[in-house]
Structure 1
Amino acid sequence: MPLHLIKLCVGCDSIQDLEAWVLERRRMPGGSPGEHIHTTRMMPKRCEALLDGGSLYWVIKGQLACRQRLLDVRPFTDADGIGRCRLVLEPAVVPVRPRPYRPFQGWRYLEPDDAPPDLGDEAADVGVLPETMRRELVALGLL
């Protein structure tokens, strides 16, 4: 059964911001069209379960909003000799049923039973809503 990670998406105000950031990073020199790299300080201990179909779920502005499938976890040492980790993600950003989530530092594990479902066909309808309206609908329990 896959295990997931959850992480704050610092600097993004919406799913569209994250998608634009992923696209920009892939266009940079050395960027890969088939993967998106996110660097984090700590190495997950449960890599095998994460790579068995797990995803990185993003918290955007206090709401669990979307996910990217994890393709690989690559440890490395930076120029200062500090151990770090590259989370290799599928570039596609998949909206999930939003729900509130408190701020935290680093990342957390997310058990499969606690992971919100993908929006699927609903994503197109929800995607056209202004971000502030979508957040208000979630806060009211209508979305």
Structure 2
Amino acid sequence: MTETSYFASLLGGMAIGLAAAVMMALNGRVAGVSGILSSLWRQAPSMPNVAFLGGLCSAVLIYRAVSGEVPAIHVQASPALMILSGLLVGYGSRRASGCTSGHGVVGLARRSPRSIVAVVVFLASGIATVGVMRMVGLP
């Protein structure tokens, strides 16, 4: 890989950091996607939350406008496995009082002890999951 192949990832990471900082500065709230998404079901949607989620959903349109192409996505999992995975991630996010965006991006930047523990658990769980999947022959 060349260093230019990391350019889109670098820009994406910078955009995530900028969005998190703007959300904290203007709204006084952590930019945790699971918390923002769950707030849409628990209460009347606030304009900042709707705008934040709209920005996430429109990112592919912005990418296409800039690059002239849609990023290739290759999913090897079955729909049933993706649904189960999504439910487990949602359940885990609620149990951990946040997701990787809230804990990993904002919580670590704020040096939150709870976020440090959460990110270590997220990473360890991901490593263990990949290890088990490889042992049983799943992609």
TM-score range, shorter chain: under 0.3
Structure number with the higher helix fraction is 2
Structure number with the higher strand fraction is 1
TM-score by length of 2: 0.27
